[in-house]
Amino acid sequence: MEAFFEVLSSEFTLFTNIFSSVVSFNIFFMVVAGTFLGLVVGAIPGMTATMTLALLIGITYNFGFERAIALLIGIYVGAIYGGCIASIMINIPGTPSAAATVFDGFPLAKKGEGGLAIGVGTITSFYGMIIGIICLILFTPIVYQIALKIGAWEYFFLAIFGVAICGNLSSSEQPIKGWIAGFLGLFVSTIGLDPIYNYPRFTFGNSQLLGGIFIIPALIGVFGISEIPKKIGPIIPKLKTLKKYVTNGIRSGLVGVFIGAVPGVGEATASFIAYDMAKRASKEPETFGKGNYQGVVAAETANNACIGGALIPILTLGIPGSVGTALLMAAMIVHGVRPGPMLRTEFPGFTYHVFILMLIASVAMLVLGLLLARPLIALLKIRRDILMPIIVPLCVIGAYAANLRYFDMRVMIVIGILAYIFRWLEYPLPPLVLGLILGDMADVQFRRAMLISGGDPTRVFSRPISVALIIIIILMLFFSTGIGGRISRRISKAFSGSKK
Amino acid sequence: MEKKDDINQRLKELSSRDFISSIVLIGACIFVILVSSRMRVYRSFSDSPAIFPVTIATIIGICSISLFIDSIKRGALQEIKKVWAQKNELIKTSALSRIIIIAGMIIIYGFFLVRHMHFTLATFIFLFGIMTYLKIFWITNLLISAGIALSISYVFGTIFNIPLP
């Protein structure tokens, strides 16, 4: 017991020392400026957190480590939240993580409740950040143990699970079209050099295709411009209203942290899974996708909580939990800090450092989000026939800037046209994007798993986590199809009948 | 009950599109499997570059066959006959021509203008052209196009230091 208190006391001393060194005007300014920049960037269609982080890592090289990491964490937190504004108001997720917010956010905006949806999204994003930060501090050792048990098969099934869930969610009347879209996304990600043998797949002699279809132009192309809602409505929700979302918020926050801690999965999957769980737990699941605040709460809490979760594998294993944290990790390495198991020895208190920066960024996000929502919406409220053409050059810059390739611009335009046809055919687009994001991971992990199993896929049944995932996927697919759907409706009818 | 009828009606209207898209997808899956079968096998097929695309194409193929059967059950063939009979009216609708013209302008901008002239000038020409088509008053159009083209170039190129196309 004495030893425990000794450790606690030394950790507290370390925390206060770090706190006094971190909280200076310079660092505070950098975090707030970063959050503001991230928020604006996240709200502009086509500009993503990943792209901004990628562009700024080089620029922050001369800043010094503390200021650079403060700015980048601010941008990351701000941009993940900022994506919700564009998702709600113009049906275009600024970041892939905000794709699930579109489902209910945009229908709410069409009803004239966009302001309130943004308010709820802002407060629950803050809520998610706090859950993520608490979990980062408290559960790092536990999640570290779970993450260590996850192997190639589990990664592959997690990707399939994410795509299948997303397909279910985005097309409840015809889930099969959602799955087709998701698997098409997975297929498109295989174009280019294969990641194990560098063998060109589906390039048909075109050298530009060797690099594959880059996610940013594809994302910009897929989510075209929809109508801009005219009425915003109030922004700050009532406390009484927010109380209704507490359970959903805690559940989604924990889902976000857990998914974030699984390396390589990231915010997009977390928000989709949390959204699905909220829909299943709801007494009115049929209202999801038509403007239910619980959908916005689930997606926004999970994607922000995921930031804290995604930092856990970086700080403990040196493996990024998402693309955004991968870039943060790159920034740390550029500045001479190598995350991983030795971090605690080489840089004691670094976790607290990150924790404090994230806390400042969260408060800045909450304040700036509520203050700037209206001006940012006003920016998006410009007449559609004026706004639509203006967005095209922004998309062109967005598609070009990441890799400086004209080819990416063309890919963006071609995918945009194909996405328009898909929209007309009523195939949902979010699973396509999720498939594109997870495709690389699914491909590599599937083949790695096959190699480890000596080409024998039945060996997957010796892995309990994989078996659990397979059962969940099969049940989910079964209950979404004809016979399964009828059985599930009968069960729910029987339950509702017995309640009455 | 009425709501369920609405959904069924909408699904019936969609059946012709589902029918056509499922045929295209089945064809695409066969093509992908054929192309994948020609890919090099290094150690064994289980870790070859082809295994993942073949697996995905098979899953998409199964889903597409299911969609194809489902669309026929929903009356896709009758719907196709109905749509075919109205084809001339559909082609003449202003919405379709508007989409084609705007898509064409975006292609010209992204594929040619940006590539062969300065980004600011290309953006100005694109914005002025598209807003002229959208019937925005010419002085407003000129001011907006020039203002936006210059601001985008300045903000992204100079302030954010992002390389412009």
Q: How many other β-carbons are positioned within 10 Å of the β-carbon of residue A286?
A: 11
| Number of Cβ pairs < 8 A linking chain A and chain B | 139
Q: Could you give the CA distance from residue A462 to residue A441 in angstroms, rounded to a whole number?
A: 22
Instruction: Please tell me whether residues B42 and B98 are part of one structural domain.
Output: no
Instruction: Please tell me whether residues B9 and B79 are part of one structural domain.
Output: yes
Q: Which residues pair with A201 in a beta bridge?
A: A192
Q: Which residues pair with A200 in a beta bridge?
A: A193
Please identify which residue in the block is written with the tokens 């004691």: A348
| Helix (H) / strand (E) containing A470 | helix A464-480
Helix B119-133 with A384-401: angle, nearest 10 deg? 150
Q: Say if the Cβ atoms of B49 and A409 lie within 8 Å.
A: no
3-class secondary structure, A260? helix
Name residues whose C-beta falls within 8 Å of residue B108's C-beta, 6 or more positions apart in sequence: B126
Nearest CA in chain B to A405: B165
Please identify which residue in the block is written with the tokens 């950790």: A11
> Is residue A370 scored above 90 in pLDDT?
no
| Average pLDDT across chain A, whole number | 77
Q: Do residues A219 and A48 lie in contact, with contact meaning Cβ atoms separated by under 8 Å?
A: yes
Percentage of residues in chain A having pLDDT higher than 70: 75
Task: Please give the residue range of the domain that contains residue B78.
Answer: 2-90
Instruction: Please tell me whether residues B129 and B65 are part of one structural domain.
Output: no
Instruction: Please tell me whether residues B76 and B127 are part of one structural domain.
Output: no
Instruction: Please tell me whether residues B114 and B86 are part of one structural domain.
Output: no
Would you state the structure tokens that stand for residue A226, as one six-digit string?
């929809």
Dihedral over Cα of A360, A363, A365, A367: its sign: negative
Instruction: Please tell me whether residues B105 and B81 are part of one structural domain.
Output: no
Mean pLDDT score, A333-343: 74
Percentage of residues in chain A having pLDDT higher than 90: 3
* Pairing, β A192-193 against β A200-201: antiparallel
Q: Could you give the CA distance from residue A84 to residue A42 in angstroms, rounded to a whole number?
A: 8
Nearest CA in chain A to B105: A389
Instruction: Please tell me whether residues B77 and B155 are part of one structural domain.
Output: no
Alpha helices in A224-266 (DSSP H): 239-243, 246-261
Q: Does residue B126 sit within a domain?
A: yes
Q: Say if the Cβ atoms of A413 and B44 lie within 8 Å.
A: no
Most confident of A32-41, A225-234, A421-430, A436-445: A32-41
Last residue of a domain, one of B42, B64, B90: B90
Instruction: Please tell me whether residues B30 and B54 are part of one structural domain.
Output: yes
The verdict on B56 touching A (C-beta cutoff 8 Å) is yes
Confidence of residue A51 (pLDDT cuts 50, 70, 90): low
Q: Do residues A366 and A84 lie in contact, with contact meaning Cβ atoms separated by under 8 Å?
A: no
Would you state the structure tokens that stand for residue A76, as one six-digit string?
């990351």
* CB nearest to A397's CB, from B35, B63, B156: B156
Q: Could you give the CA distance from residue A308 to residue A140 in angstroms, rounded to a whole number?
A: 10
Both ends of chain B: CA-CA distance in Å?
55
pLDDT of residue A46: 55
Q: How many domains are contained in chain B?
A: 2
Q: Does residue B20 sit within a domain?
A: yes
Q: Say if the Cβ atoms of B103 and A180 lie within 8 Å.
A: no
Name the amino acid, one letter, at A73: I
Q: Does residue B165 sit within a domain?
A: no
Residue pLDDT, tens place only, A22-31: 778 888 888 9
ipTM (interface pTM): 0.86
Last residue of a domain, one of B90, B110, B125: B90
Q: Do residues A165 and A103 lie in contact, with contact meaning Cβ atoms separated by under 8 Å?
A: no
Q: What is the pTM of this model?
A: 0.69
Q: Does residue B29 sit within a domain?
A: yes
Q: Does residue B118 sit within a domain?
A: yes
Give the C-alpha distances (Å, rounded to integers) separating A448 from A151, A262, B40, B101: 9, 17, 17, 47
Q: Could you give the CA distance from residue A377 to residue A372 in angstroms, rounded to a whole number?
A: 8
Q: How many other β-carbons are positioned within 10 Å of the β-carbon of residue B4?
A: 8
Q: How long is chain B?
A: 165
Residue pLDDT, tens place only, B90-139: 666 666 677 788 888 888 998 889 888 899 999 999 999 988 887 778 88
**CA of residue A207 relative to chain centroid, distance:** 31
Nearest to A473 by CA among A233, A49, A260, A182: A182
**Distance to chain B for A1, nearest Cα, Å:** 52
